[in-house]
Structure 1
Amino acid sequence: MRIRIYISVIFILIQKSTSEAVSRPSPPVNVSIQCDSYGVEARWEYPDLSQDVHFFVEVRDREERKTYTTPNLSLNISTMLVPSPTKVHFVTVSAVRGGQKSDSCDSDNFSFNEDATNAEIKCYLDFPEVELSPKDGKLHIQFINPLELYRDTPALRNLDNQKDLDYTVKTEERVNNTTCGAKAKTCETSIEFSEHRGVYCVSLTGKIDWGRKLNLRSKCFTGDIRIYTSFTVYLYAVLGVVLLFLFITGIIILLVMKFTSEIKKKSITAFPKLLVFKPTQIHLCEPLKLYPETVTRDLHIEPKEQTTLIKVHSDEELNSGDEDMVSKDSNSENLYRDNGLDEDDQSNSPIGYDCPHRP
């Protein structure tokens, strides 16, 4: 009797386990993690989607775990992650149908910390978009500070006291390491090139505190970054030189005038007083003035009475020279006649000989 009872109980247990195995859903497969700058998503596959199942998701680390139920084959678990610079997470997914739960399927460990050795999946942040432009003969680089851009993402959420951003700019010629302040909205720097290329390419990488690495960002600028002096600069330079020359010339003229006046004063005091004209003697230096003389135009000259001059000789002269006198008188008479002059003419002449002979 007891044997029959035992056999019946064993049969019931076997039948119950068989029915539970038939009704229990199969587990999900290929659970994977997709992480980027703005979030983390868990994905999985299920062989029989015709069954009325939903999925039970657990986000776990060594200390905490959070759960969520979804009918989809993926779930954004960004809000379920516990921000921590050293946390390593993994995801467990199970299928549930009719109160029955399947076996779980686990993902690989993942972390935003590049230095986490026990994480098979490393999540990196994308380097922000970079703007390139010429400035002062160099290539100017500017981008949004990743500490500001990713402040609300799972990688940096609720993490205080962030250190400055360290990033590297690499070109074909050199590698520049620089920093950007934690509170700065934008980061910028300039790279100098030794020669004109036409195309200038740069590669940027960076690392945030606690091993948050930024993916490589490459970008090129096509154009000319050299400095060309504009025409206005030369014009202003020329105008400046001209104005400076005029200013110096004016000063020289004023100094010359001043020194000249001082020299004149000193030279005047150096002359003797005799050579200095008094104010009353100024008229002596004036030029002579010519005054017109009144002259009568109609001038009438009255003739004077002619006086005959007789030369008186002594007796001896008379005796000795009678003949000579006679001859001279005759000659004189002939001469007057030859000249057409007679006594009447001489008397009527306006100009007479009015000087008497000496006795």
Structure 2
Amino acid sequence: MRIGIYISVSVILILIQKSTSEAVSRPSPPVNVTIQCDNYGVEVRWEYPDLSQDVHFLVVVKESVNPNERKNYTTRNLSLNISSLLFNSSFNTYFVNVTAVRGRKRSDPSDSDSFSFNKYATSKIKCYLDFPEVKLSAQNGKIHIQFVNPLHLYRNTPALSNNTDDLKYTVETEEGSTESTCEMKTERCEVLIGFSELREVYYVSLTGQIGQRPLNPRACQFKGDIRIYPPFTVYLYPVLGVALTLLFITTILMLLVKKFYSEIKKKSMAAFPNILVFEPTQTHLFEPLKLYQEAVASELHIEPKEQTTLLEICSDEEPTSGDEDVGGRDLDNASPYRKNALDEDDTGDDSGGYDCPHALRLEMSPGDMVNAYGI
């Protein structure tokens, strides 16, 4: 009996020793396995206490709909993007476990919390898509809301793989909420929201979902005046119309005044006698005289004319012979002595004692005058 007791104790000790040696040789499991999911994908992260050991990690992704369906991936990093390992993201709930492997030995798996993109799933982690950036503006007395369609923005992400649903979103304000739909073919979504009263700041909040995939709420505000003001042309056209009308009336009045003035002028001219009507001034009479240069020969040549010179010398005494000779010589050179024609016409007698006229008539040619007077 003692022998049986010794044998059983020895077997137990051997088993304990073997399990202890195996536990010491196996790598320790990863800790703090977390899931980070957004509209761009899903990433799993973990920690490992001893990185000096030559270990790598086996990541296994499982889904709740079909637990036997799983996908594996091996890495030496402490994180892994598992977006490509997801399937049927609009319905499934996922689990991830990470195992440390050293050689042929593996650690115990470490599981993550369940996560899903389905807002109705019973998962611990809800994955939301980010609502795109919203642009607010005033239009027609309302707030105009515009944003990029997330179906176009996130169409290449695993969260929207094999999606056929449109975007349904809700706009909430202080005065209520409005539901709208943005189709997949629409690139930009937009809607107008009215307000019953004016405010300094208009607050708007948007929520939405694509199928069963929720979007994170987006809150925004608008500061400004949303009242409707008539366009500039509403004032421009009437002003132009009035200006053109006044210009037309002014032109008509000027033409009438001009015509009336011309008629008055005609009647006033007809009322005056013709004696007061003056002929137009003959302006050609007051034109200045024009001097014309007469053509004159540059050299003047005077032809000498032969003329006789009558010289009448009166004296009380008879000339002497010597004088006669002198006079005779002079007369021979000039001309013979004869009576003047004036003497022949005189009818006076010689009793006065003055028998010779006082006038002396010389008829000389220009040449003789030059010789006589030395000119």
For 2:51 and 2:106, the matched residues in 1 are separated by: 15
For 2:158 and 2:36, the matched residues in 1 are separated by: 13
1:98 aligns with 2:99: no
Q: How does 1:102-121 map to 2 (within 5 A)?
A: 102-117=107-122, 119-121=123-125
| Contact 1:139 1:192 survives alignment (8 Å) | yes
* TM-aligned CA distance change 1:164 to 1:13, over 3 Å: closer
Of the three residues 130, 144, 148, the one matched with 1:144 is 148
Which whole-Å deviations, capped at 9, do the CAs of 1:323-343 have from their partners, x for residues lacking one?
Answer: xxxxxxxxxxxxxxxxxxxxx
The Cα of 1:196 is off from its aligned counterpart by 2.4
Residue 251 of structure 2 is matched in structure 1 by none
Of the three residues 167, 171, 174, the one matched with 2:173 is 171
TM-score (norm 2): 0.58
| Contact 2:89 2:118 survives alignment (8 Å) | no
Residue 354 of structure 1 is matched in structure 2 by none
Letter in 1 for 2:234: V
Residue 190 of structure 2 is matched in structure 1 by 188
Residue 86 of structure 1 is matched in structure 2 by 91
1:155 aligns with 2:159: yes
5+ unaligned residues in a row in structure 1: which ranges?
247-359
Which whole-Å deviations, capped at 9, do the CAs of 1:225-270 have from their partners, x for residues lacking one?
Answer: 2222244321214546888999xxxxxxxxxxxxxxxxxxxxxxxx
Q: Which has the larger radius of gyration?
A: 2
User: Identical aligned pairs, as a percentage?
Assistant: 66
Q: How does 1:12-51 map to 2 (within 5 A)?
A: 16-51=18-53
TM-score (norm 1): 0.61
* TM-aligned CA distance change 1:185 to 1:231, over 3 Å: closer
For 1:116 and 1:98, the matched residues in 2 are separated by: 38
For 1:6 and 1:170, the matched residues in 2 are separated by: 76
For 1:26 and 1:219, the matched residues in 2 are separated by: 49
Of the three residues 69, 72, 81, the one matched with 2:77 is 72
* TM-aligned CA distance change 1:193 to 1:244, over 3 Å: farther
Q: How does 1:122-133 map to 2 (within 5 A)?
A: 122-133=126-137
The secondary structure found in structure 2 opposite 1:155 is: helix
The Cα of 1:105 is off from its aligned counterpart by 0.8
Letter in 2 for 1:105: S
The Cα of 1:10 is off from its aligned counterpart by 8.0
Q: How many positions carry a matched residue from both structures?
A: 243
The secondary structure found in structure 1 opposite 2:160 is: coil
5+ unaligned residues in a row in structure 2: which ranges?
248-375
Q: What RMSD in Å do the two structures reach over aligned CA positions?
A: 3.0
Residue 227 of structure 1 is matched in structure 2 by 228
* TM-aligned CA distance change 1:6 to 1:120, over 3 Å: closer
The secondary structure found in structure 2 opposite 1:195 is: coil
The Cα of 1:16 is off from its aligned counterpart by 4.5
The Cα of 1:151 is off from its aligned counterpart by 1.2
Letter in 2 for 1:57: V
Q: Which runs of 4+ in 1 moved over 4 A?
A: 3-16, 238-246
Give the stretch that moved more between structures: 223-232 or 182-191. Answer: 223-232
Letter in 2 for 1:126: D
The Cα of 1:44 is off from its aligned counterpart by 1.4
